[in-house]
């Protein structure tokens, strides 16, 4: 899709109340894309909506950590028109050993980062099966998708899932108007880190951290170009490329060093 062809199309952005999702919403608004913004916090969504100038913005509160919330969200989002762009961005992780976190949090992570993402992807693909208009799905994974990550075991595994799933969908839809792009950000300056209980990162992790705006601009450019997978930022690209020359156990140890030790208290779950 050319930039001018975006005007008047409609995008559903999950996790739009902060960080990368809010930056993605603003980038889409600059292209004239009408928005359906979703997350759990209504006030934060409303605040983001006021920064998306010149387009129609609808806000839908949904907890995608809950079973079947994705289908209700899709029904609500499509009630007032079709969705041309799906941005599967909502996600969380925690920086802790696997056995130090409640199982209920793990179950929520699996639901949000994978199950709800797949459910929305399926709704989107089904909706575009018989249409000939351009459709774009963008799934946010992570550089954590490129190797196992001790102290973020389940999170990194969920992002490896998102990457493999997205790349397979991209190939399945090659030559069709439906394009699927996977974005693998490295460390990005958002609320993710305080929410994860992380923060005592090595100088390498701190030096490679990018802004949410940078990641969002890379993501939208990649989407418009119909790219398969994009790792925003030169250093992140280099590490994701370089990891293929290490044994998997060495890559895992290097990542443990780069991320440092979990030191911050694990915050209580944010309610909607
Ligand atoms: N920051 C990084 O370093 C980094 C690196 C690689 C990948 N990522 C990925 O980028 C994506 C965006 O994260 P971010 O960095 O922008 O962090 P963030 O600022 O914490 O944003 C996370 C978003 O997800 C939403 N969310 C969380 N739990 C939810 C739930 N149960 N139901 C619905 N929405 C929920 C949050 O909104 P509410 O709290 O209002 O629900 C928020 O809008 C995530 O998928 C993350 O894994 C981040």
User: Concatenated DSSP letters for 174-204?
Assistant: TTSSEEEEEE---SBSSTHHHHHT-----HH
Q: How far apart are CA 67 and CA 55, in angstroms?
A: 31
Which secondary-structure segment (H or E) carries 47? helix 42-49
User: How does pLDDT run across 47-90, given as a tens digit for each residue?
Assistant: 999 999 999 999 999 999 999 999 999 999 999 999 999 999 99
Q: What is the Å distance from ligand 1's center to 91 Cα?
A: 4
Burial 183-220 (b: 16+ CB within 10 A, else e): bbbbbbebebbebbbbeebeeebeebbbebbbbbbbbb
pTM for the model: 0.96
The Cβ-side half-sphere exposure at 212, using a 13 Å CA radius, reads: 19
- Report the chain's mean pLDDT, rounded to a whole number: 94
Token pair 């774009």 in the structure block, residue: 136
- Is 191's C-beta closer than 6 angstroms to any atom of ligand 1? yes
Place of tokens 């208009």: 133
* Smallest CA separation from ligand 1 atom 36, residue: 15
User: What architecture (CATH level 2) is domain 4-259?
Assistant: 3-Layer(aba) Sandwich (3.40)
Ligand 1 midpoint to CA 14 (Å): 9
Name the residue at shortest CA distance from atom 43 of ligand 1: 15
233-244 confidence digits (pLDDT tens): 999 999 999 999
Enumerate the active-site residues.
155
pLDDT at 264: 62
Tokens representing 264?
């911050």
Cα(90) to centroid(ligand 1), Å: 5
Task: Provide the token pair at 30.
Answer: 């600059």
- Amino acid 270: pLDDT: 58
Contacts of 192 (CB under 8 A, 6+ apart): 19, 92, 93
What does 120-144 look like in DSSP terms, one character per residue?
Answer: HHHHHHHHTTT--S-EEEEEE--GG
Domain boundaries, the chain: 4-259
The pLDDT tens digits for 195-209 are 888 767 888 888 889
pLDDT (tens digit per residue) in 160-196:
999 999 999 999 999 999 999 999 999 999 999 888 8
């Amino acid at each position: 899709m050319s930039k001018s062809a975006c005007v008047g199309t409609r995008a559903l952005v999950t996790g739009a109340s902060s960080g990368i999702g809010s930056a993605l919403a603003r980038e889409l608004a600059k292209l004239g894309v009408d928005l359906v913004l979703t997350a759990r916090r209504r006030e934060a969504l409303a605040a983001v909506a006021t920064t998306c100038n010149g387009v129609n913005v609808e806000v839908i509160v949904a907890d995608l950590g809950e079973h079947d919330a994705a289908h209700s969200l899709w029904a609500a989002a499509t009630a007032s028109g079709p969705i041309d762009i799906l941005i599967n961005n909502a996600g969380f992780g925690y920086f802790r050993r696997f056995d130090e976190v409640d199982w209920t949090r793990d179950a929520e992570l699996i639901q949000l980062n994978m199950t709800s993402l797949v459910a929305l992807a399926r709704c989107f693909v089904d909706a575009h099966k018989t249409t000939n208009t351009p459709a774009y799905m963008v799934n946010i994974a992570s550089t954590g998708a490129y190797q196992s990550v001790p102290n973020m075991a389940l999170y990194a595994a969920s992002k490896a899932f998102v990457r493999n799933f997205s790349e397979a969908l991209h190939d399945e839809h090659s030559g069709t108007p439906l394009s699927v792009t996977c974005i693998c950000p490295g460390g990005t300056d958002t609320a993710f880190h305080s929410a994860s209980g992380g923060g005592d990162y090595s100088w390498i992790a701190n030096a490679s951290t990018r802004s949410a705006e940078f990641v969002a601009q890379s993501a939208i450019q990649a989407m418009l170009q119909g790219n398969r997978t994009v790792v925003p930022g030169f250093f992140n690209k280099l590490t994701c490329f370089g990891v293929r020359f290490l044994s998997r156990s060495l890559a895992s140890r290097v990542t443990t060093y780069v991320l440092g030790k979990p030191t911050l208290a694990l915050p209580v779950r944010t309610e909607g």
